[in-house]
């Protein structure tokens, strides 16, 4: 907690200057308020290792995956969302660590892809859910990835549905600004081969990116860090040229160690990537998707459901085969 106290003291001494400069709602830096990233003690690989100590794959999965900081995903399965998010960030705060959370409950989620379909029952229900999510985090430091795939998943949507989705995302960002001032929120921007940089810049801007700390790339996908960094920089070039601002971005490196073979749903031969860290070509490289958790009933995960932990897939990802 010493870093938290130093950060608070620095903020208090800087108050006159801060008021004069009118800083943004995201002036606080949660990475300096904490001493490293939080390892989820109840992640699916942690639970599997604990339940299968005699399995020959357990030691490798524990060392290479279960003890790496990664995101916890929140949706309808999380129960009362304010309580669930609050308990998770509270546990991290007690350890002076920075938690990574994914908000994944938007109305008509995965509307076109289908493997992860679901989400809130209506735009109003989503607005209530995300307000409780932000309120649960409160003033404690956190990183939030906001609605993976939501801006890439436009292929089958009408303009009215797109406008509705962008309104939900903009409203969500406003809630975090009001209720969670020490949270960095990254609005998800898909991956480098989903939409060109100009298109994604427009979608981000229309969904309220100005209110966010930044945007996220490659969530649950496999493209290399270098390809994502180039794409993120291209999106920022478009944002700068069209709208006069740029934003930091993060890359999901959990499964990109071998890059992509062009498939997105449980492809074989993929490998874990750079563990969660700051820097690395982006603002942060984060494990957002848990290695070994299925993308759906497809590929090497045939017969599984999205989010189900598959130990053999996890083990093969450690070794890249």
Contacts of 204 (CB under 8 A, 6+ apart): 151, 187, 189, 215, 235, 239, 247
DSSP state of 221: -
**Which parts of the chain fold into alpha helices (H)?**
2-13, 15-21, 44-51, 58-61, 81-94, 123-137, 159-179, 197-206, 225-243, 311-319
How far is Cα 164 from Cα 109, in angstroms, rounded to an integer? 12
In this structure, are strands 277-278 and 284-286 parallel, antiparallel, or unpaired?
Answer: antiparallel
Angle at 219 between CA 276 and CA 280, to 5 degrees: 35
Residue 116, CB half-sphere, CA atoms under 13 Å: how many?
24
How far is Cα 224 from Cα 147, in angstroms, rounded to an integer? 21
- Residue 95's alpha-carbon distances to 10, 33, 70, 174, 194, in angstroms, are 21, 12, 16, 28, 38
Angle at 275 between CA 219 and CA 246, to 5 degrees: 50
> Which tokens in the block code for residue 232?
């993120």
Active-site residue numbers? 110, 149, 295
């Amino acid at each position: 907690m010493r870093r938290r106290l130093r950060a608070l003291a620095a903020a208090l001494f800087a108050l006159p200057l801060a008021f004069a400069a009118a800083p943004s709602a995201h002036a606080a830096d949660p990475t300096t308020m904490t001493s490293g990233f939080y390892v989820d003690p109840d992640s699916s690989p942690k639970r599997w290792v604990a339940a299968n100590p005699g399995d020959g794959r357990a030691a490798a999965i524990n060392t290479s995956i279960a003890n790496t900081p990664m995101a916890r995903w929140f949706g309808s399965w999380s129960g009362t969302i304010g309580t669930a998010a609050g308990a998770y960030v509270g546990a991290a705060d007690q350890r002076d660590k920075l938690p990574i959370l994914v908000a994944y409950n938007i109305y008509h989620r995965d509307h076109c892809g289908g493997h992860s379909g679901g989400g809130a029952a209506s735009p109003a229900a989503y607005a209530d859910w995300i307000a409780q999510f932000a309120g649960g985090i409160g003033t404690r430091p956190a990183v939030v990835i906001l609605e993976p795939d939501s801006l890439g998943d436009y292929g089958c949507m009408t303009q009215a549905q797109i406008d509705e989705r962008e309104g939900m995302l903009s409203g969500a960002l406003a809630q975090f600004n009001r209720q969670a001032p020490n949270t960095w929120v990254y609005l998800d921007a898909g991956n480098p081969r989903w939409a060109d940089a100009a298109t994604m810049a427009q979608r981000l801007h229309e969904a309220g990116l100005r209110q966010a700390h930044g945007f996220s790339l490659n969530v649950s996908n496999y493209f290399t860090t270098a390809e994502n960094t180039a794409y993120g920089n291209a999106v920022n070039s478009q944002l700068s040229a069209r709208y006069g601002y740029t934003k930091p971005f993060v890359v999901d490196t959990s499964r990109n160690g071998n890059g992509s073979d062009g498939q997105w749903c449980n492809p074989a031969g993929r490998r874990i990537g750079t563990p969660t860290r700051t820097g690395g070509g982006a603002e942060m490289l984060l494990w957002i998707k848990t290695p070994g958790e299925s993308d759906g009933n497809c590929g090497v995960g045939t017969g599984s459901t999205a989010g189900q932990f598959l130990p053999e897939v996890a083990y093969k990802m450690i070794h890249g085969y």
